[in-house]
């Protein structure tokens, strides 16, 4: 099964019965006009964002973006030019370069055309692709002890942190703290709890999965808006 976009869904088809011909009702042919649809998604396999078996692929959209022409990729983010599957640890090498006799680049062209068709093109498309690139970039971050203290951590891949901060439009310092500290609130005060390196990495991965999950639901919402 080459469909690595694993999730559950319930699709409701909506029919217009105003022109229904009761004299033509049968079990093999619909006598109503399809007027719209509504999709509800659930059980998205977000764990696939951050890891997958060597013989499998992660979500197709990652490979599609990376297989696009550099001129198109750099339009989403200037540093995407020249990147490939090995440029992002969440993605990595794959031996599957065609699906149903179409390359990832060809599939990406179709993906963009479809998004344009349902009014998710232009700036919305660019924002979507930048967010997906940010998810991939999260996988390149590494964490280590802060000043030799095993209970504290910092991002040790400074250039990758700077790149993620650039995509997201935030400061690298704030981004580092968001992964290496936890904010605790009590009735009377708010304080910070430092995280060790392993927990900081877990926090970064959890952030990537949550962003991807929110993007997925946003996309389903856009499809429903276009087909209602």
pLDDT of residue 186: 87
- The reported pLDDT for the residue numbered 24 is 55
Q: Give residue 35's pLDDT.
A: 84
Position 5 scores a pLDDT of 52
Nearest alpha carbon to residue 222 among 141, 130, 115, 123: 115
* pLDDT of the residue at 20: 60
What pLDDT score does 25 carry?
Answer: 59
SS (H, E, C) the chain: CCCCCCCEEEEEEEEECCCCCHHHCCCCCCCCEEEEEEEEEECCCCHHHHCCCCCCCCCHHHHHHHHCCHHHHHHHCHHHCCCCHHHCCCCCCCCCCEECCEEHHHHHHHHHHHHHHCCCCHHHHHHHHHHHHHHHHHCCCCEEEECCEEEEEEECCHHHHHHHHHHHCCCHHHHHHHHHEEEEECCCCEEEEECCHHHHHHHHHHHHHHHHHHHHHHHHHHHHHHHC
pLDDT value of position 3:
55
Give the bridge partners for 34, in sequence order: 15
pLDDT at 62: 95
- pLDDT the model gives residue 142: 98
Residue 77, pLDDT score: 96
Walk along the chain (228 residues) and give the pLDDT tens digit of each residue. 455 557 777 888 888 877 565 555 566 666 778 888 888 887 788 999 999 888 888 999 999 999 999 999 999 999 999 999 999 999 998 888 899 899 999 999 999 999 999 999 999 999 999 999 999 999 999 999 999 999 999 999 999 999 999 999 999 999 999 999 999 988 889 989 999 999 999 999 999 999 999 999 999 999 999 988
């Amino acid at each position: 099964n080459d469909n690595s976009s694993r999730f559950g869904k319930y699709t409701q088809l909506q029919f217009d019965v105003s022109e229904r011909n009761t004299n033509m009702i049968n079990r093999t042919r619909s006598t109503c006009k399809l007027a719209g649809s509504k999709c509800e998604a659930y059980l998205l396999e977000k764990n696939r964002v951050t890891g997958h078996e060597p013989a499998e692929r992660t979500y197709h959209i990652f490979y599609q973006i990376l297989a696009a022409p550099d001129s198109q990729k750099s339009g989403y983010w200037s540093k995407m030019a020249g990147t490939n599957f090995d440029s992002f640890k969440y993605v990595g090498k794959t031996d599957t370069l065609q699906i149903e006799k179409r390359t990832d680049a060809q599939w990406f062209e179709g993906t963009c055309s479809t998004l344009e068709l349902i009014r998710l093109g232009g700036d919305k498309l660019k924002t979507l692709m930048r967010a997906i690139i940010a998810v991939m970039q999260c996988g390149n971050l590494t964490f280590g002890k802060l000043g030799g203290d095993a209970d504290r951590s910092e991002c040790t891949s400074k250039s990758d942190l700077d790149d993620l901060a650039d995509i997201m439009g935030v400061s690298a310092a704030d981004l580092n703290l968001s992964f290496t500290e936890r904010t605790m609130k009590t009735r009377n005060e708010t304080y910070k709890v430092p995280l060790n390196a392993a927990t900081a990495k877990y926090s970064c991965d959890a952030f990537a999965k949550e962003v991807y999950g929110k993007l997925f639901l946003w996309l389903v919402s856009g499809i429903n808006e276009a087909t209602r």
